[in-house]
Chain A
Amino acid sequence: MNHFMSSGCHPLKCYAALYCRRKPKTQRSKRYLESRESKLTENTKTAMFIRGGRTSEVVSQTLKDMYFLKKPDAVMFQKKNIMRPLEDQTSLEFLSDRNDASLFMFGSHQKKRPNNVVIGRFFDFHVLDMVELGIEKYKSMQEFHVGKFSLGSKPCLLFAGEAFENEPEYQRLKNLLIDFFRGPVIENIRLAGLEHVLLFTTLDGKIYLRNYKVQMKKSGSRTPRIELEEIGPSVDFSMRRTRLASDDLYKRARQQPKQAKPKKVKNINRDPFGSKLGRIHMEKQDLDKLQTRKMKGLKRKTSDNTDKKVEAKKVR
């Protein structure tokens, strides 16, 4: 009677190629797959911290400290992963796919490139940008004997230096660093919770990273006076190799969904001074109901009763 299950001229033959797209079998796996799908408003990016085949004390300490800065949106790999990110990205992309992570920091130490750190990001599980930085000078968090900020607080990011404005490589690096350290996108922020500042300064091919804790002092006004205290890590980086995304790919990665754009409000615009101008459409005014100036003499006397009351008041 039926031909779906048994007929020789099987329509399924044509679908064999599609058969890899199977439905998830359990609700749990379905939820898991859905959590990994692309979304309109995305999750906070997770960062992987990867040790290379050989790491020096400085490099592993840097990775540990950066992991602390990035927690809780971070994974620290305990095992060594022998790879060269700038030469071959396949294993990196594999790790990104496995961990659903789109940021990474890779540390290694070689004779050719001592104290090496590679920072990068992924788009759709493929490497988008990678920048290799050499650690020139390093002072870890432990060396600063001061209180740290509370875990998971959103840091303030500061950038200084002309290169971040003018040079394309540094511009991209700036964007990458913002992406890496900015933490979750939030709507509200607790004013007392602004306690961590990251400063990136660049001059003559060096990048200086400093971490500070914010202390709010009285200023006599509502806004507090800010004092800073260094909490580490403080790192002096030098720029090494880079592998940046092509403009085309970069543009594609930066596309914003149409739904996320704010809707245009009709009939309202703003003039150069920032005041709101609107056009209102009204019905024709009914002049019969117009309220003219009130005068005592024109007041209508409805009944004698009311007059008496008025008189009584006057007597009192």
Chain B
Amino acid sequence: MADLVESVLQKAAEKESKYKSIEVHKDIDLDIDAGNLLAVDPNPLDAKKLREKRDEYLISLARDNTQLLINRIWELPVERVEGTIVAKLPAPKTILPREKPIPKPKPETKWQQYAKLKGIQNKKKARKVWDDEIKDWRPTWGYQSRVNDELNEWVLEVPANADPYEDQFGKAKKAKTERVAKNELQRMRNIARASKLKVPGVGLTPTDTPSKDHLSKALTLAKKSTASVGKFTDSLPKEKPVKNTGKKRKFEPNVGDMSKEKSAQLDILSKMAKAGPTVNVTKAMKQHMLEEEQQRQKTNSERPKKAKSIKKSIKRKQGKDTKRGGGGKGKRRGRK
């Protein structure tokens, strides 16, 4: 029995002497972050050795520390991927600064807010739909979709009771541009709301069946939309003066709420102290209008007008289910 133990021990000793040891002794354990393949040695350096035999000392130091790091990595769970052995690294421990700030969640659009409130869920639309007419699949939206069919028609019906000389092609084109413009405006409003800017009223949205209220609002707006803000616009005979338009001025009592006055004064001070960039609205506006003009010219030059001689006269189906637009601020989602 004793012989057996002795021989086993001897064998082990022989094996050990054959290879150099992988054991490394350090007074203080290394701080190892395996996720970053990083080891930090908190032990004090041997200053004398470092000065005299720098490279030899550093290589021995590096060897010991690498050995400890490798020992740790070899303890990690391994798997075989495509014939090579890989170790699964833990997540990095050392917290490093980010490259860019944490992304903020995208602000909800007005529609998304409303849908959430009402519990309306998105129905996933198929990317393509079957078109019976051309016996092929076509995109549901975008380029070559049926949405733009109206613009590519070589012939259009003239609705009953419509002016026969009215340009139906131009009408369709204009309707499309206005839908696009409305969408763009709503996008802008969403951005304004998200960046906590003042969201102005929508003005007037397009409706097929404008109400009396809608028309009177349009009239007042049109009258005011001159360079002199409607000062010289003639009024119709028997026209009633417009009520409730414009801003109402409010005067605070001379003596009264101190806290309100304090907050108002502080508000002014903070506004003065704010060093934000001021946007030259007029300039931006001008630029925008110029661009728009250029765009229009470009599209006009690209697409010469089509011949509009042949017109059928079948009444166009009009949406009766369109919600009557009231004068309120509610969202109007009339179908066109």
Contact = CB atoms under 8 A, between A and B. Distances in A.
Interface of A: 1-5, 7-19, 21, 23, 37-40, 42-43, 45, 102, 121-124, 128, 154-162, 164-165, 174-175, 178-179, 182, 185-192, 194, 197, 199, 201, 203-204, 208, 210, 212, 214, 217-228, 230, 234, 245, 250, 252-257
Contacts, number: 263
Contacts of A11: 185, 200-203
A227 B87 contact: no
B182 A18 contact: no
B88 A219 contact: no
Interface residues of B, number: 85
Interface in B214-259: 218, 221-222, 224-226
Interface string B33-52: 00111111111110100100
Nearest to A100: B99
Contacts of B96: 175, 178-179, 182, 254
Contact of A40 (B88, B103, B202): B103
B327 to A, nearest CB: 15
B98 interface: yes
Contacts of A15: 185, 188-189, 191-192
Interface in B146-198: 177-178, 181-182, 185, 187-189, 191-192, 195, 197-198
B71 A19 contact: no
Contacts of B59: 210, 212, 228, 230
A10 B282 CA distance: 12
Most buried by B among A40, A214, A220, A256: A220
Interface of B: 15-16, 18-22, 35-45, 47, 50, 54-55, 58-59, 61-63, 65-67, 69-71, 73-74, 78-79, 81, 84-89, 92, 94-103, 177-178, 181-182, 185, 187-189, 191-192, 195, 197-198, 200-204, 206, 218, 221-222, 224-226, 279, 281, 284-285, 288
A158 B97 contact: no
A124 B50 contact: no
Nearest to A230: B59
Contacts of B201: 11
A4 B182 contact: yes
A159 B98 contact: no
A168 to B, nearest CB: 15
Top 9 nearest A-B pairs (CB, nearest first) are A8-B225, A38-B100, A253-B97, A16-B284, A160-B41, A188-B86, A17-B279, A4-B181, A15-B188
B203 A7 contact: yes
A4 B192 CA distance: 17
Given A185-B35, A185-B92, A224 B70 contact: yes
Most buried by B among A11, A45, A164: A11
A191 B73 contact: yes
B89 A187 contact: yes
A17 B102 contact: no
B288 A227 contact: no
B185 A12 contact: yes
Contacts of A39: 100, 103
A189 B86 contact: yes
Contacts of A253: 97-98
A19 B187 CA distance: 11
A5 B39 contact: no
B39 A157 contact: yes
B20 A189 contact: no
B281 A165 contact: no
A248 to B, nearest CB: 13
A3 B204 contact: yes
B37 A194 contact: yes
A178 to B, nearest CB: 6
Contacts of B187: 23
Contacts of B37: 154-157, 182, 189, 194
A192 B188 contact: no
6 contacts: A11-B200, A14-B197, A37-B103, A124-B99, A159-B41, A191-B87
Given A2-B178, A156-B66, A203 B188 contact: no
Nearest to B18: A220
B100 A12 contact: no
B188 A225 contact: no
